[in-house]
């Protein structure tokens, strides 16, 4: 097992022990391959609810990551879309001003600023951009506080519509886990982060739901 795979596995083991708390296709795409992301997502959700984490899928989740790491020397992430039950590896294709764009061969993309999801492309119901610098600073520092988050989406007429949320940030029930609990517009969602392990579960929007992100190589 490579060093990178061991690190990814160790991150999920840490989450499982701590009890903290689905690829890249639009819902209904039909790709249902098991993955390390779905295991990580379950751990994040169950731990936040104070429940025992469900066992990982029987299929070996390291195979997908190992093949990707062997084939691509650059930065990689593994992303699971929960509503679609899909998982894919995304490779970094560009970096600009602290923003990294990761893309699949079919040109579906996630944009990250550090550990924070900033946007999506090619998925349908895409997040144009997320503005959450205040939350990101609190999470990175491991501090509690409040912050405002703006999520921008394109409407059917091609205009960009901002949705504003008020968020409370604080530690989860276990060491290293930070939780961002947001409400607004009759919607509530909860993001979970373990920055030290490169694992997070983040809400994209009403149309796409949650994505679980595992950094395989920076």
More confident residue, 66 or 58: 66
Parse the chain into domains and list their residue ranges. 61-217
Tell me the two tokens of residue 75. 């930065």
Please state, rounded to an integer, the average pLDDT across all residues of the chain: 79
Neighbours of 66 (CB within 10 A): 17
Is pLDDT above 70 for 43?
A: no
* 103-119 tens-digit pLDDT: 998 999 999 999 999 99
At 157 the pLDDT is: 81
Q: What pLDDT digit, counting tens, does each position of 165-210 carry? A: 999 999 998 889 999 999 999 999 999 999 999 999 999 999 999 9
Please tell me the predicted confidence (pLDDT) of residue 66: 87
Q: Exposed/middle/buried for 67, CB within 10 Å: 0-12, 13-18, 19+?
A: exposed
Q: What is the pLDDT of residues 67-78, one digit of tens each?
A: 889 998 999 999
Residues 106-154: tens digit of each pLDDT: 999 999 999 999 999 999 899 999 999 999 999 999 999 999 999 999 8
Tell me the CA distances in angstroms from 146 to 56, 139, 191, one per residue in order.
34, 11, 14
From the CB of residue 70, how many other CB atoms can be counted at a distance below 10 Å? 10
- Please name the residues in contact with 186: beta carbons below 8 A apart, sequence gap of 6 or more: none
* In this structure, CATH architecture of domain 61-217: Beta Barrel (2.40)
Instruction: Calculate mean pLDDT across residues 55-71.
Output: 68
pLDDT band at 24 (very low <50, low <70, confident <90, very high): low
Closest to 47 (Cα-Cα) out of 144, 179, 141: 179
């Amino acid at each position: 097992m490579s060093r990178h795979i061991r690190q990814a596995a160790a991150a999920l083991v840490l989450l499982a022990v701590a009890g903290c708390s689905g690829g890249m296709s639009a819902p209904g795409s039909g790709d249902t391959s098991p993955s390390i992301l779905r295991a990580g997502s379950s751990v994040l959700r169950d731990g936040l609810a104070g429940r025992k984490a469900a066992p990982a899928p029987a299929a070996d989740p390291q195979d997908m990551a190992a093949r990707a790491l062997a084939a691509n020397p650059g930065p990689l992430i593994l992303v699971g879309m929960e509503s679609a039950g899909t998982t894919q590896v995304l490779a970094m294709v560009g970096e600009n001003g602290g923003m990294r764009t990761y893309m699949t061969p079919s040109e579906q993309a996630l944009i990250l600023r550090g550990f924070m999801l900033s946007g999506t492309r090619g998925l349908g119901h895409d997040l144009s951009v997320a503005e959450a610098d205040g939350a990101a600073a609190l999470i990175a520092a491991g501090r509690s506080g409040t912050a405002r988050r703006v999520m921008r989406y394109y409407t059917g007429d091609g205009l960009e519509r901002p949705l504003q949320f008020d968020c409370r940030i604080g530690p989860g029930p276990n060491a290293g886990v930070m939780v961002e609990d947001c409400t607004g517009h009759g919607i509530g969602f909860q993001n979970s982060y373990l920055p030290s392990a490169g694992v997070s579960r983040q809400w994209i929007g009403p149309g796409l739901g949650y994505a679980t992100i595992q950094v395989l190589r920076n």
